[in-house]
């Protein structure tokens, strides 16, 4: 199982939101490159970076940060936020993203997303589905789409979808544990898709539980910044699995 630390960006700085609320943003570290280096040093292979400014602006805003991170560490970087057209997609890839997360565009322009799956490959294009009250939210979690996550996944399976990051917005940043039944069900119902758990990871025990349940990847954000999970714990877990 992959452990994927998250770096959320506002104005080039590392922040965390609570339940997707921009007014709740808290700055934890002004240097994302330093954070990325710390993660690389403890053995993490994959990094999750979200451009929160880009999500609101509908276009990437922090690509220079992505460039600096990609040049500083040898990691698999997944990037999301503001990817609404092919120009933005290519800019993210050119700046150093090895995978690109597409959320709003996958809901608003499904044919475009299917074309990207075909053109760039399902190992590079990730479906980002952020869920609140059973429905997918878009545009930086500010808009409810009225589409269920199952409707979205089923629509893209014929196009080769193989990667999903699902965030339970109600658990995100709350440090109260993940919604395990949601992720276990999704992984069971769609075995051809690698489902990444996002939202609620608060202790190393949560990671162990996700692993024992057969989940394939987890994203950790606030728990690291708040010291609930230490980099030493992550390093030891990675060494022992």
State CA 153 to chain mean position distance.
Answer: 16
Q: What mean pLDDT do residues 96-107 have?
A: 95
Give the C-alpha separation, 84 to 128, whole Å. 13
Residue 174 has pLDDT above 60, yes or no: no
At residue 98, the pLDDT reads 98
Is residue 94 among the annotated active site residues?
no
Catalytic residue among 8, 53, 172, 194: 8
Q: How confident is the model at residue 172 (pLDDT cuts 50, 70, 90)?
A: low
At residue 29, the pLDDT reads 67
Q: Domain tally for the chain?
A: 1
Domain hosting 31: range is: 2-240
Do 126 and 101 meet the contact criterion of CB atoms below 8 Å apart?
yes
- 154 Cβ contact partners less than 8 Å away, ≥ 6 residues apart: none
Is residue 8 among the annotated active site residues?
yes
At residue 24, the pLDDT reads 59
Which of 62-71, 101-110, 160-169, 173-182 is least confident?
173-182
pLDDT averaged over the chain?
91
Give the pTM: 0.91
3-state DSSP assignment of residue 33: helix
Closest by CA position to 107, among listed 86, 124, 90, 84:
84
At residue 181, the pLDDT reads 94
pLDDT digits (tens, 9 = 90+) for 224-236: 988 999 999 999 9
At residue 168, the pLDDT reads 87
What is the 8-class DSSP label of residue 164?
E
Task: Look up the CATH number of the domain holding residue 12.
Answer: 3.20.20.70
At residue 161, the pLDDT reads 98
At residue 40, the pLDDT reads 97
Q: How confident is the model at residue 18 (pLDDT cuts 50, 70, 90)?
A: low
Q: Which residue has the tokens 């808290």?
A: 26
Catalytic residue among 130, 168, 172, 194: 130
């Amino acid at each position: 199982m992959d452990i994927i630390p998250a770096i959320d960006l506002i104005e080039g700085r590392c922040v965390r939101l609570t339940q997707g609320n921009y007014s709740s943003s808290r700055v934890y570290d002004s240097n994302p490159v330093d954070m990325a280096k710390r993660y690389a040093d403890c053995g993490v292979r994959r990094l999750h970076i979200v451009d929160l400014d880009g999500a609101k602006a509908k276009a990437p805003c922090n690509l220079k940060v992505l460039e600096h991170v990609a040049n500083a560490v040898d990691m698999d970087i997944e990037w999301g936020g503001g990817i609404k057209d092919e120009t933005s997609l290519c800019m993210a890839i050119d700046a150093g993203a090895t995978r690109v997360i597409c959320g709003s565009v996958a809901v608003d322009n499904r044919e475009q997303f299917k074309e990207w799956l075909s053109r760039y490959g399902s190992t590079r294009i990730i479906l980002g589905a952020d869920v609140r009250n059973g429905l997918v939210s878009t545009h930086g979690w500010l808009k409810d789409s009225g589409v269920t996550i199952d409707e979205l996944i089923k629509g893209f399976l014929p196009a080769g979808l193989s990667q999903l990051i699902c965030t339970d917005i109600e658990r995100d940043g709350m440090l109260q544990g993940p919604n395990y039944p949601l992720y276990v069900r999704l992984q069971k119902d769609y075995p051809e898709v690698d489902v990444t758990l996002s939202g609620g990871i608060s202790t190393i025990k949560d990671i162990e539980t996700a692993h024992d349940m057969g989940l394939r990847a987890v994203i950790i954000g606030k728990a690291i910044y708040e010291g609930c999970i230490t980099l030493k714990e992550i390093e030891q877990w990675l060494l022992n699995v």
